[in-house]
Amino acid sequence: MTEAEETTERTAANCKIMTMEAMLERWEHLSRKDPWYNRMYLYATRGTIRSADLGRSESCEKTRQGKKGDNTSSSSDGLEVVDESNIYPLTWKGRREEIRLGEADVMCLVVGKWLNDNVMNMYLQSVYEEQCQGKDTAEVHVCTTFWNPQLLVNQQGDIAKRGWVLRVKSRTTKVHLQCKDLEVAPLVLIPINHKHKWMLLILLNVREFWTDDTCPNAIIVDSCHGYASPDWKELKTLLWHEYLNDNKRGPDVTRQLVDKSWNTCRDVFGRGLIHARCSQQSNREDCGVYVCCMAEELAHPPTRNGISKDDVLEIVEKMHIDERIVRDFRVRALDRIAECAAAAKGHKSVGEHRTLARAMRAKIRKDGGELP
Write the pLDDT tens digit of every residue in 268-311.
999 899 999 999 998 888 999 999 999 999 987 766 667 889 99
Q: Per-residue pLDDT for 43 more than 90? A: no
- What's residue 63's pLDDT? 38
- What's residue 240's pLDDT? 85
Strands 72-74 and 140-142, sheet pairing: unpaired
- What's residue 94's pLDDT? 78
**Picking from 66-80, 86-100, 121-135, 215-229, which range would have the lowest pLDDT averaged per residue?**
66-80
DSSP 8-state secondary structure symbol assigned to residue 331: H
Q: What is the pLDDT of residues 104-138, one digit of tens each?
A: 898 899 888 899 999 999 999 988 888 777 666 67
Neighbours of 117 (CB within 10 A): 18
How far apart are the two ends of the chain, measured CA to CA in Å?
37
**Residue type at 331?**
V
Q: Per-residue pLDDT for 154 more than 90? A: no
**Residue predicted with more confidence, 141 or 349:** 141
**Residue predicted with more confidence, 317 or 256:** 317
Work out the average pLDDT over 156-173: 55
Cα dihedral 347/349/350/354 (nearest 10): -30
Q: Per-residue pLDDT for 27 more than 70? A: no
| Helix, strand, coil abundance in the chain, percent, nearest 5 | 55, 10, 35
Number of H helices, E strands in the chain: 15, 10
- What's residue 342's pLDDT? 76
Close Cβ partners of 285 (under 8 Å, ≥ 6 residues apart): 112, 113, 114
**Residue predicted with more confidence, 344 or 268:** 268
- What's residue 28's pLDDT? 64
Burial degree of 15 (CB within 10 A; 0-12, 13-18, 19+): exposed
CATH no. of 137-321 = 3.40.395
Domain ranges of the chain: 3-65, 137-321
- What's residue 156's pLDDT? 60
Q: How far is CA 296 from CA 61, 124, 220, 258, 316, in A?
A: 45, 7, 16, 37, 11
- What's residue 132's pLDDT? 73
φ/ψ of residue 40, rounded to 5: -65, -35
Any bridge partners for residue 90, and if so which? 101
